[in-house]
Structure 1
């Protein structure tokens, strides 16, 4: 696939993804520093990570809807499980996400089975999940970016950021609208991440396999193009 519009979309996607993971790397560095500085890593020590979490939410306020640290079971001395997760409502200070982490509760949130946690734990590599409906938080289509945190081979958990699918698509509007053909960014399940077609809302599945596909390095996504459905001039 050789098309300057496709190349422009690919470059823009790479830039956005890199910026998000750069912010996560700063949080990750703070987690590792706090862990190494603590004789017995406890929940209170995670307060030392909050400045980087808040900085991420502030720096990328128009992009990141939530960010934080999800700790692997057994890592903290005083808590079996913990989410140091903060959300960024428009024009408000960060709000702590309080979830039920009691295994005996009917509302127990066992995050260890979530793809955004389990895959980085297994692969020890960055991962992107979505779009998926975030029923537990915003009830909107969300993308979740996570990266593993580890020290000397010990898995501490993941650092992560939530980005609304609509926000991510909006960041691509300029390059998508410039294309005379339909360009669609899809995940590994052929679910739409972003597109310039009014017939393919974010989160929907491609109606049929795409003949032209460009895998993007550094993400689980691909760009597909079709000529039968012209792109709209603006979204």
Structure 2
């Protein structure tokens, strides 16, 4: 849904491109979630090393040409698996477009420990039971670049088991969003719920900057004729006038 009933053709075109991107990425995330559910029993008594079916699905997604995803996988809920409290079954596109397994430190006593328990791409699906898009943010673990992370909860017998997700570089998202943005006869920006810009057709509004033209957090709560939200996701198209 959007916050306004009258949406210009230009805005509708950008929203359509944004929806196409989200639909494509979440379609693959859903495949990873389904493969994960096949590997986890209701009691959660599965070793982390037994998640090979997830690997097969994820590597096919990451290595597939013509899709925007650069990394994907499953991140276990803290304490859910029986042999480790933290676990990432995650793959990123490496040299030759091959999927490489992410080597992350899951021992909290070791240097470089990656504690994801309080990160929004994990917390929001856990707490709301809904899909989420985090970013744009600099992903120092995987891409070292501006990234959007698409995640959805994996629930086993009403118990949160973790999240399935995928990373999309912001410059890839920009490439997909720029055709309708360039064709628009008005200034538009794609923003997240905090007002941080993903893409725009204005040289004054750069990816990663906070939008000053509209109080996006307030508009998100109360509605604003210049802000058009994308369904249930924390992404919107802002009319910059």
TM-score (norm 1): 0.90
Report the Cα distance in structure 1 between the residues aligned to 2:61 and 2:140, rounded to whole angstroms: 23
2:48 pairs with 1:34: no
Name 2:237's counterpart in structure 1. 223
Report the Cα distance in structure 1 between the residues aligned to 2:45 and 2:140, rounded to whole angstroms: 35
State the 1:51 CA deviation. 1.3
User: Residues 1-235 of structure 1: matches in 2 within 5 Å?
Assistant: 1-36=6-41, 40-59=45-64, 62-89=67-94, 91-209=96-214, 212-227=226-241
Q: Which runs of no fewer than 5 residues in structure 1 stay unpaired?
A: 228-235
State the 1:180 CA deviation. 1.6
Report the Cα distance in structure 1 between the residues aligned to 2:184 and 2:62, rounded to whole angstroms: 32
60 and 156 in structure 1: CA distance in 2 versus 1, 3 angstrom threshold: farther
State the 1:170 CA deviation. 0.6
Report the Cα distance in structure 1 between the residues aligned to 2:238 and 2:135, rounded to whole angstroms: 17
State the 1:25 CA deviation. 0.7
Report the Cα distance in structure 1 between the residues aligned to 2:44 and 2:105, rounded to whole angstroms: 27
Does structure 2 conserve the Cα–Cα contact (< 8 Å) formed by 1:41 and 1:75? Answer: no
Which structure is higher in RCO with an 8 Å CA cutoff and minimum separation 6?
A: 2
Aligned residues: 227
Report the Cα distance in structure 2 between the residues aligned to 1:26 and 1:7, rounded to whole angstroms: 28
Report the Cα distance in structure 2 between the residues aligned to 1:84 and 1:29, rounded to whole angstroms: 14
State the 1:181 CA deviation. 1.4
State the 1:60 CA deviation. 5.9
State the 1:18 CA deviation. 0.9
Report the Cα distance in structure 2 between the residues aligned to 1:137 and 1:147, rounded to whole angstroms: 19
State the 1:226 CA deviation. 2.1
Does structure 2 conserve the Cα–Cα contact (< 8 Å) formed by 1:61 and 1:88? Answer: no
46 and 191 in structure 1: CA distance in 2 versus 1, 3 angstrom threshold: same
State the secondary structure of the residue aligned to 1:26: helix
What is the alpha-carbon root mean square deviation over aligned residues?
1.9
Does structure 1 conserve the Cα–Cα contact (< 8 Å) formed by 2:42 and 2:156? Answer: no
Deviations 1:71-97 (A, max 9, x none): 012222222211001001353311111
TM-score (norm 2): 0.88
Q: Which runs of no fewer than 5 residues in structure 2 stay unpaired?
A: 1-5, 216-224
